[in-house]
Structure 1
Amino acid sequence: MKNKLLYFIICSLGLAYFTSCKKSNYLTDGGLSEAKSPLTTYEYLKQHKYHLFDTLIMVIDHYNMKDEVNGAATFFAPTNYSINNYIRLKRDSVRRINENNTYTLTNMYNDIKADSLRIYLSKSRIELTTAPLQPTLVANAANTQTAFQRILQPKPGESWSSSPIYYLYYIKVRGGLDPPNSTVQPNDPNIDLKAQCQTTGIEPSSGGMLHVLSNTHTFIRF
C-alpha cells in the first residue's frame, strides 16, 4: 500500500512539473513563440487567429493605408477594443444631447482623417529591449508629438521569476514632453498620455516592428 501511495505521489508531482513547464511557454507577451513572422504587417493583422484587428483592418482599408502600414519602421497597433472604446465614448457624448442619437464607424470616418491612424506609425525602429527608461520623443507619420518609454513593473509578492519585467509605452505628447519624475495634476490638459503595449517585438516580413497596444487604450485619445 505504501509503495502504491509513493508511486501516486511521484506521478502527481511529475505531472504538476510538466504542466507548469508547459504553461511557462505562454508567459511572454501573451504567448508569442516566434518573433519573426512570414506575413507582412497588414497580413499579420488581417489573419490574426482571434480576429483582434478586424476593425483596425477596416480603418486601414478605408484610408488606403496598407502600403504605409507595411512600410512603417514601427507600428503601434490599436486593437478592435481600442477603436470600439472611442466609438462608445462618442456615442455616449451624442446621446447626452439626444438619447436616440447613435455613433458608428461611418460617423468616425466623417470625423477623423488618415493622420489619426498615422500617429501610430513611427518613423524609427522601436524595440522593448533598447527603449530608454525616460520618455523620449520619436517622429511619427502624422508629424505630431509622440514619445516612447520602457517602464520597470513592480514585482508581485508571489513572483514566479526574479528577472525584472519591463513594459513598452507609447506616449501622446501634449504641450511638450513632461519632465522626468515631475508631479502633474490628473486633470492637467497638457499631461502626456501613455498607452501600454500588451505584446511587443513582432517582426513582420515587410520589415519594421509591430507592437500591440493594450485593449484598454482608447483610439486617438489614448
Structure 2
Amino acid sequence: MNKLKLYTTRCGWVLLFATIMVTACKKDDHFIGGSATSPKTDLTTYDYLKQNKLFDTLIMLIDKAGMKDEINGDVTFFASTNYSIKLLLDARSSQLQLAHNNENLTYTIDSFPPAELRDSIRAYMFKGKIVREDLSLDPTFYKNLDGQDFVVRLRETTDYGGIFDKPVRYMSLTKIINGKDPEPLPPGFPKADIDKEDICRTTGILTKTGVLHVLNNNHFFYWR
C-alpha cells in the first residue's frame, strides 16, 4: 500500500470514528465505551446479560445464588463484567494460597457460600428505576436491597484528548463507608473510611423488566 493510500485510509477511519463519537454525544451528551444503540430491549434483564459473553461469570453467580427472578424484578441493576469478578477470584485465590502455603489452590465460583453470594449481588440492586434523566452533578442517595447507602450521580470530565469541545458527563456509583466523604477530602482523612466510587461504562439499558447499567472493567466485585 503506497503512502498516499495509507494516509487516506487512516484519515477515513479517524473521520468515521469522530463522526460516531460526535453523533453519540449529540444524541445523549454521554459516551463512555461501546457504541450508540437503542436503550430499549425486549429481553428481560437476565436474558440480556445471558446473551452477552461479557457477563458469563455474572450469570453463573446469579444462577448459583438462585436469583434469576430477583434480577428480573422491578429493579435497577449495576452489572459487573467478567473482569470485575475475576479480580475478586484472583484476590481470594492468593489469600487461600498464602493461608495454606499451597500455590495450586484456587477460589472458584463453587467456593462462594450461597448466602454471601446473594448479599453481594443484592448490593448492586436498587428498587425501582434509576435513570440518567433524574440525576445531576449533585449526589443522590439510594439504599440497595441490602439496606446499604449509596450515591448515584453524574461526573464531568474533559479527559478525552481534545475530541470534545465541552465536558462529558458519565454516571458513577459510590458505596458510602461510615458516612459520605467530605468534598474535597481533608488531609489525613482515614483511608478505611474513603467511599468507593466506580464509573459506568454503559448506562440506561431499559430491559423488559427493569433498568441495567454496566460498571467499568476495573471495578472490584463487591468493592473488596
TM-score above 0.5, yes or no:
yes
Letter in 2 for 1:109: P
**1:6-85 equivalence runs, <5 A:** 12=8, 16=11, 20-21=15-16, 24-25=19-20, 28-29=31-32, 30-48=34-52, 51-85=53-87
Shift of 1:110: 5.6
In the alignment, is the contact (CA less than 8 A) between 2:64 and 2:114 conserved in 1? no
1:37 is matched by which residue type in structure 2? T
Which of 192, 196, 205 is the equivalent residue of 2:195?
A: 192
Relative to 1, partners in 2 of residues 1:111 and 1:189: Cα closer, same or farther, differing over 3 Å?
farther
Aligned CA distance change for structure 1 residues 215 and 163 (closer, same or farther; 3 Å): same
Which of 173, 176, 183 pairs up with 1:170?
Answer: 173
Return 5+ residue gaps in structure 2 as ranges.
25-30
Q: CA deviation at 1:125?
A: 2.0
Q: Is the 8 A contact 2:172 2:197 kept in 1?
A: yes
- Alpha-carbon contact 1:128-1:168 (below 8 Å) kept: yes
> Against the structure 1 CA distance between its residues 96 and 168, is the aligned structure 2 distance closer, same or farther, given a 3 Å change threshold?
same
Q: How far is 1:203 from its partner?
A: 0.8
Larger Rg: 1
Q: Give the alignment's TM-score, normalised by structure 1.
A: 0.82
Extract structure 1 runs of 4+ deviating beyond 6 A.
Answer: none
| 3-state SS of paired residue (1:52) | helix
Offset, 1:184:
6.1
Which of 154, 158, 163 is 1:160 aligned to? 163
C-alpha deviations, 1:56-84, integer Å up to 9, x for none? Answer: 01111111111211114311000111111
Q: Distance in 2 between matches of 1:176 and 1:194?
A: 14
What residue in structure 1 maps to residue 185 of structure 2? 182
Consecutive unaligned residues in structure 1, runs of 5 or more:
1-7
Task: Decide which structure has greater helix share.
Answer: 2
The number of residues matched between the two structures is 209
1:86 aligned counterpart, secondary structure:
helix
Report the alpha carbon displacement of residue 23 of structure 1 after superposing the two structures with TM. Answer: 5.8
d(CA) in 2 for partners of 1:111, 1:90:
17
Equivalent in the alignment of 2:28: none
Amino acid at match of 2:144: N
Name whichever of 147-156 and 108-117 sits farther off: 108-117
The alignment's TM-score, normalised by the length of structure 2, stands at: 0.81
- Cα distance in 1 for partners of 2:95, 2:187 equals 27
**In 2, are the aligned partners of 1:123 and 1:138 still within 8 Å (CA)?**
no
